[in-house]
Copies of this chain bind each other. A is one copy, B any other.
Amino acid sequence: MSLDVIDVRILAELQQDGSLSNVELARRVNLSPSPCLVRVKALETQGVIQRYVALADPKALGLGLNVFISISLKQQSKEALADFETRIAEHEEVMECYLMSGDSDYLIRVAVADIGALERFILDQLSPMQGVEKIRSSFALKQVRYKTALPLPAVLPAR
């Protein structure tokens, strides 16, 4: 599952616009539609392309507030970590969650409507979770950049 230059070009285009028709995509990567479609299907089957999604505007949905929350657990046993990871993912507000090095804790980003919603999330959802020791919130005043398109290497091993 190595990618050549054309695959990378296809990925770049689809990461920018997943609604491209195969005909238009083929035109942009200088291929005819048939082989282009074969490549796209291959990328999907291989899992390089995971899925297609619509991106919604947080502001339009009244979700203007992004908050980063650092969470420390009481213990860092494998079970305690796995348990936390399962339960944190159940909350819709949690857009991202990372196990971090250093303090051996988690960093999550939540998207909420306002401070009230944040307060409810922390007090009603997060604090009561067993194993959670320490919570520290940092507010994002502004989302300067948010993109889903991964950086693509200029060159990759030949196909």
List A residues at the B interface (Cβ < 8 Å): 1, 3, 11, 14-19, 46-58, 60-63, 66, 68, 85, 88-89, 92-102, 106-108, 111, 113, 138-153
| Oligomeric state, in copies | 2
Q: A46-B60, A139-B102 are in contact. Are A96 and B147 (CB under 8 A)?
A: yes
Inter-chain contact A49/B54, CB cutoff 8 Å:
yes
Contact (Cβ within 8 A) B17 A51:
yes
CA distance A106 to B143 in the complex (A): 10
Which B residues are in CB contact (< 8 Å) with A97?
143-146
B-side contacts of A107, CB under 8 Å? 68, 138, 140
Are A89 and B145 interface neighbours, CB within 8 A? yes
Residues in B with CB closer than 8 Å to A140 are 98-101, 107
The answer to whether A47 touches B60, judged by C-beta atoms less than 8 angstroms apart, is: yes
Q: Across the interface, do A138 and B101 meet the contact criterion of CB distance under 8 Å?
A: yes
Counting chain B CB atoms within 10 Å of each CB, which of A102, A144, A153 scores highest? A144
Residue of B nearest to A113 (CB): B153
- List the B side residues contacting A50 at CB < 8 Å: 54-57
